[in-house]
Amino acid sequence: MFKKFDPNVSLFNIKIMPGTVNYSTDIAETQVFSPNNYNITLSSDYLNSVRSWAPSSPPTILSIATTITHEIIHAYLLSLVDQYIVSGSSTIYDFPTLFDAFVTNKTKVGTQAQVDAQHEIIVEKYVNVIASTIQEFDTGISVTSGYPRQVSLDLAWAGLIGTDFFKKNYPDDATHNNYADRKRIKIRRYVEEYNESRENQSPLGKPCK
């Protein structure tokens, strides 16, 4: 996916920048700027840790890396749609099939329904991809086994908190089998997002200064 946006060889481009996102509860968003060009906006409030209940404590580098990886998948899915529109072909372009593009293209660009469709694809196919990517970023060692460590998976799922798919897999129900996992994932997101220990978890990433 990173290679898909290599400026030296690709027609597809990503611009990553701080700014204001459309929904205040989001920490980042990805939008089509023009055909084959995509803007990833990282919320300035997120980067500066703006919060009313405590002093500012910017996110760890690991939190930001997780957020960017998640958003690059959004851009990648949008690029599949653009590529299909241009070529009109049913060829498989790389390891995901064009089914991904069709799912994304069923809804109007920029709508919440489109974002939800993309999140469904991420849940079904790319959680391990995100986890493996951020683990390699953190350790410098490739995840060749296909089984990233639990904390990396927790960070990957943390990017899906608030989606219907997270709520379905990790419902807010103390009697559910996945309730302890839900709590652990939410705490991991918090400690990396605010570089602040909570309960039995401490930040693994280095502070972003």
Burial class (CB in 10 A: 0-12, 13-18, 19+), 33: exposed
Who has greater pLDDT, 89 or 10?
10
Q: Residue 162 falls within a domain, yes or no?
A: yes
Q: Residue 27 falls within a domain, yes or no?
A: no
Q: Residue 123 falls within a domain, yes or no?
A: yes
Name the one residue in this structure whose structure tokens are 């959004």.
Answer: 74
Who has greater pLDDT, 58 or 85?
58
pLDDT for the residue 24: 80
Q: Residue 199 falls within a domain, yes or no?
A: no
Q: What is the dihedral of CA 146, 93, 103, 108, to 10 degrees?
A: 130
Q: Residue 158 falls within a domain, yes or no?
A: yes
Find the mean pLDDT for residues 99-113. 58
Burial readout 9-31 (b: 16 or more C-beta within 10 A, e: otherwise): eeebbbeeeeeebeeeeebbbbb
Q: Residue 184 falls within a domain, yes or no?
A: yes
| Beta carbons of 127 and 147 less than 8 angstroms apart | no
What global pTM score does this model have?
Answer: 0.85
Q: Provide the sign of the torsion angle of the four alpha carbons 106, 110, 116, 119, taken in this order.
A: positive
pLDDT for the residue 92: 47
Number of domains observed in the structure of the chain: 1
The model's pLDDT over 30-43, given as tens digits with 9 standing for 90+, comes to: 998 888 899 999 99
Q: Residue 183 falls within a domain, yes or no?
A: yes
Q: Angle formed by the axes of helices 61-87 and 127-139, to 10°?
A: 130
pLDDT for the residue 88: 61
Find the mean pLDDT for residues 65-80. 89
| Beta carbons of 70 and 62 less than 8 angstroms apart | no
Is residue 102 very low, low, confident or very high in pLDDT (cuts 50, 70, 90)? Answer: low
Q: Residue 176 falls within a domain, yes or no?
A: yes
Q: Which domain holds residue 76?
A: 58-194
Task: Among 106-120, 154-168, 183-197, name the one with the lowest average pLDDT.
Answer: 106-120
Looking at the DSSP bridge assignments, the partners of residue 16 are 40
